[in-house]
Each structure stands twice: as structure tokens, then as C-alpha cells.
A and B are shown apart, each in its own frame.
Chain A
């Protein structure tokens, strides 16, 4: 079965960076884009960007350009998202999600809570 398993919760200080991993299984990793979505406490879903696991090509939301980097390691079917220069506004749950193409985003990781606090 399709699974996306994310790394555990993180606590970071303002100005630091965080790197979240998304380990996939149950499907052909390079065949489906991976998206990253942010959800601040009590708020809605916000699209951050996607990565094409086959080519490594990325597309970031304008809001996050320059501060977010998405990468992947095909050998271990894992995608990563790094956010730099964290502020308290970045306190949120970050989700990775698979894009099936025809069906759009279908499977989601369980989410990773990143808390930014001094």
C-alpha cells in the first residue's frame, strides 16, 4: 500500500533551518511528483511547492522562493524539504503528499510539526 512517512517533530530557534524527510513506499517513487503543504495552527492548507523525483526539478510558491529547498534521494525513495531563516510564523505542520497526476494530490504523509520558538 502507498505510504508516506515523515520525520518527527522539531523545535527550532528563530533564524535556524529545518529539514523534513518523507520516506515513501508502495509505489514507483520516480513516477509521481511530491508536494509539500504547510498548515499553521488552526489554519488552512497552504501549498509550498513540488519536486519531480525523477528529474529533481522543482517549483516553489513565490512566497517561499529563496527560503525553501526540495530535494530527493532516489536510492531510498525519500523526499526532503528544507526551510531556512525560520521565524515564529513558520510554526506549523508540514505535510508531504503524492501527486497521482490524473487524480491530483491523493496520498499524504502524517505531517511533521515544526515549532519555532526562542
Chain B
């Protein structure tokens, strides 16, 4: 049972825009920033978005993040087959003895 809640799956066709949601609480997303990670099959996670909506260098601007209240979203526009992966949200949590909490992950399928 993950602290942050994500839909288990999402899908889209090439060129489409998809969004993935991440729901938390006042102790994590409500007061701290959100990161998003992309994990390709058999690989380590890769930082996609930090501080809610900032992209590290090298991450295409097709990826964008937003946050409102205790929820966050990752949007991927111009969907490509290479985007097929698992996506995780993460945030600091002030209340638990587990400062970093993750979502359960969303498997994105490009149809």
C-alpha cells in the first residue's frame, strides 16, 4: 500500500497527450514538492520532473508536471513509443518515519 496513489495503468496512441495523477495528503504533496521518475523495463528510475514542474537538462519539454493542493500530475504530450514505461511520483513526507514516499507506479502503454 503506497502512501501516494497513482492509477495502475494509462494508455494512449502515438501523438496523443496523456496525464498521470498522483494523490497524497497534507503531510507530503500538500507541503512538499513532487518529483516524477520514469522507469524503463529492467532499468533504474530516471528523474523526469523535480520541484513539481522543473525538468532536468536533457528531458524533452513534452514532459510537464503540475501540482495543486494534495495532488500532482504528469503530462506527456506528443506520445512516442519510447515513452512506454512505468512512472512514479515521489515526495518528502513530514509525518512518517519514511521521509521519501513513492506512488505505486503507473504503467504507460503506447497503443
Which residue from B44, B51, B56 sits with its C-beta under 8 Å from A110? B44
Least CB distance, B22 to chain A, in whole angstroms: 12
A86 vs B35: C-alpha distance when bound (angstroms): 31
Q: Which residues of A contact B111 (CB under 8 A)?
A: none
Q: Which residues of B contact A73 (CB under 8 A)?
A: none
Which residue from B54, B99, B102 sits with its C-beta under 8 Å from A45? B102
A97 vs B47: C-alpha distance when bound (angstroms): 11
Q: A8: CB under 8 A from chain B? A: no
A32 vs B104: C-alpha distance when bound (angstroms): 26
B56 in contact with A105 (CB, 8 Å):
no
A binding-site residues for B, Cβ under 8 Å:
35, 37, 44-47, 50, 59-63, 95, 97, 102-111
A62 in contact with B98 (CB, 8 Å):
yes
B50 in contact with A44 (CB, 8 Å):
no
Main DSSP-derived SS at the A contact region: strand
A44 in contact with B35 (CB, 8 Å):
no
Q: Which residues of B contact A111 (CB under 8 A)?
A: 44
Q: Which residues of B contact A35 (CB under 8 A)?
A: 100
Which interface residue of B35, B45, B46, B54 has the most chain A CB atoms within 10 A? B45
A72 vs B83: C-alpha distance when bound (angstroms): 36
Q: B97: CB under 8 A from chain A? A: yes
A46 in contact with B50 (CB, 8 Å):
no
Least CB distance, B56 to chain A, in whole angstroms: 7
